[in-house]
Structure 1
Amino acid sequence: MNRVQIVEKAPEDGDRVIFVRQGEFAKEGVSQEEFEGAKFSTLIWREAGRRIVYVGLGTGPVTADLLRKAAGTGTRLLRKLGGEEIHLDCVAYPELAGFAVEGALLSAYRFEDFRMPDARKKSTLRTLTVAVGKEEGESRLEVERSTIVAEAVNYVRQIGNQPANVITPATLADKARELAADCHLQCHVFGPQELEEGGFGGILAVGKGSDNPPRLIVLEHRPTEGKPIVIVGKAVTFDSGGISIKPGEHMDEMKFDKMGGCAVLGILRAASRLGLRVPLVGVVASAENMPSARAYRPGDVIRSYSGKTIEVLNTDAEGRILLADAVGYAVKQFDPRLLFDLATLTGACIVALGRNRAGVFTSDPDLRDQLWGLGEMAGEPVWPLPLGEEFEEAIQSDLALVKNISGTREGGSSVGAAFVQHWVGKTPWAHLDIAGPAWVNRELPYLEKGVTGFGVRLLIRYLLSLAAQESKS
Structure 2
Amino acid sequence: MKICVKKGSFSEFDCEAVVVCHFEDSKRLSGAAALLDKKCGGIIREMIGLGDFEGKLFQISVIYTRGFIPARRIFVVGLGKKKDFDLEKLRGAFSKASRRIRELNLKGFATSLDLGKINQPLDKITESVVEGVLLGLYQFTPYKTVEREKIKELKEFVIAEDNDDSFKIIKSAAKTGEIISGAVNFARDLVSTPGNEMTPAILSDRAGEIARKKNVKLKVLDVPEMEKLGMNALLGVAKGSDEPPKFIVLEYNGGKKGDKVVALVGKGITFDSGGISIKPSADMDRMKTDMAGSAAVLGAIKAASDLKIPLNVVGLIPATENLPGGGAYKPGDILKSMSGQTIEIKNTDAEGRLVLADALTYAGRFKPEAIVDLATLTGACVIALGDNTIGMMGTDDKLKKRVKDAAEATGERLWELPLWEEYHELMKSDVADLKNTGGRAAGTITAAAFLSKFVGDYPWVHLDIAGPAWLTKDKPYIPKGASGVGVRLLVQFMRNL
Shorter-chain TM-score tier: over 0.9
Residues 346-365 of structure 1 mapped to structure 2, 5 A cutoff? 346-365=378-397
Q: TM-score, normalised by structure 1?
A: 0.94
- Structure 1 residue 300 corresponds to structure 2 residue 333: yes
Decide whether aligned partners of structure 1 residues 8 and 196 sit closer, same or farther in structure 2, where only a CA change above 3 A counts.
farther
> Is 52-61 or 40-49 further displaced after alignment?
40-49
Corresponding residue SS for 2:455: coil
Tell me if 1:144 matches 2:175: yes
Answering whether residue 110 of structure 2 is matched by residue 87 of structure 1, we say yes
Alpha-carbon separation, structure 1, partners of 2:371 and 2:231: 19
**1:198 aligned to 229, 234, 247, which one?**
229
What per-residue deviation string (whole Å, max 9, x for no partner) do you get for residues 250-293 of structure 1? 11111111100011110110000000110010001111001121
Q: How far 1:368 sits from its partner (Å)? A: 2.3
Distance 1:75 1:183 in 2: 33
Q: Which has the larger radius of gyration?
A: 2
Distance in 1, matches of 2:9 and 2:467, equals: 40
The residue number in structure 1 matching 2:431 is: 399
* 1:329-348 equivalent positions in 2, closer than 5 A: 329-331=362-364, 333-348=365-380
Aligned residues: 464
Q: Could you report, residue by residue, the CA deviation over 1:301-327 in whole angstroms, capped at 9, with x for unpaired residues? A: 001112111111000000000100111
Whether 1:43 aligns to 2:61 is yes
Is 2:419 the partner of 1:387? yes
Amino acid at match of 2:13: E
Counterpart CA distance in 1 for 2:161 and 2:452 is: 46
Q: Distance in 2 between matches of 1:435 and 1:262?
A: 13
207-216 or 139-148, which moves further after superposition?
139-148
Contact 1:234 1:322 in 2 (8 A): yes
Corresponding residue SS for 1:165:
helix
Shift, 1:211, TM fit: 1.2
1:108 corresponds to which letter in structure 2? L
**Contact kept in structure 1, 2:273 and 2:323, CA below 8 Å:** yes
- 2:448 corresponds in structure 1 to 417
1:62 positional shift: 2.1
Q: Which amino acid aligns with 2:18?
A: R
- In structure 2, the partner of 1:290 is 323
Matched, 1:97 2:92: no
The within-5 A match list for 1:207-286 is 207-223=238-254, 224-225=256-257, 226-286=259-319
8 Å CA contact 2:262–2:312 kept in 1: the answer is: yes
SS at structure 1 position matched to 2:316: strand
Alpha carbons of structure 1 residues 362 and 131: separation in structure 2 relative to 1, 3 Å = farther
Match of 1:444 among 463, 475, 480: 475
In the TM superposition, what is the alpha-carbon distance from 1:34 to its structure 2 partner? 2.1
Unmatched segments (≥5 aa) in structure 2: 30-43
Q: Which runs of 5+ in 1 are unaligned?
A: 467-473
1:137 positional shift = 4.2
- The match for 2:41 is none
Q: Is the 8 A contact 1:71 1:88 kept in 2?
A: no
**How much has 1:63 moved relative to structure 2?**
0.9
For residues 377 and 6 of structure 1, what CA distance do their matches in structure 2 show? 27
d(CA) in 2 for partners of 1:209 and 1:6? 56
Structure 2 contact 108–155 (Cα < 8 Å) conserved: yes
Could you say what secondary structure the match of 2:197 adopts?
coil
Q: Provide the alpha-carbon RMSD of the alignment.
A: 1.8
Distance 2:214 2:300 in 1: 12
Q: Does 1:9 align with 2:9?
A: yes
Residue 70 of structure 1, aligned match among 78, 93, 96: 93
What amino acid is the match of 1:345? L
C-alpha deviation, 1:192, in angstroms: 2.1
The 1:7/1:207 distance shift into structure 2, 3 A limit, reads farther
**Alignment partner, residue 22 of structure 2:** 20
Classify 1:309/1:8 alpha carbon distance in 2 versus 1 (closer, same or farther; 3 Å). Answer: farther
Counterpart AA for 2:135: L
Indicate conservation of the 8 Å contact 2:221/2:248, yes or no.
Answer: yes
> Measured at CA, do residues 183 and 52 of structure 1 come closer, stay the same or move farther in structure 2, by a change above 3 Å?
farther
| Percentage identity across paired residues of the two chains | 39
Cα distance in 1 for partners of 2:458, 2:162 equals 46
SS in 1 for 2:195: coil
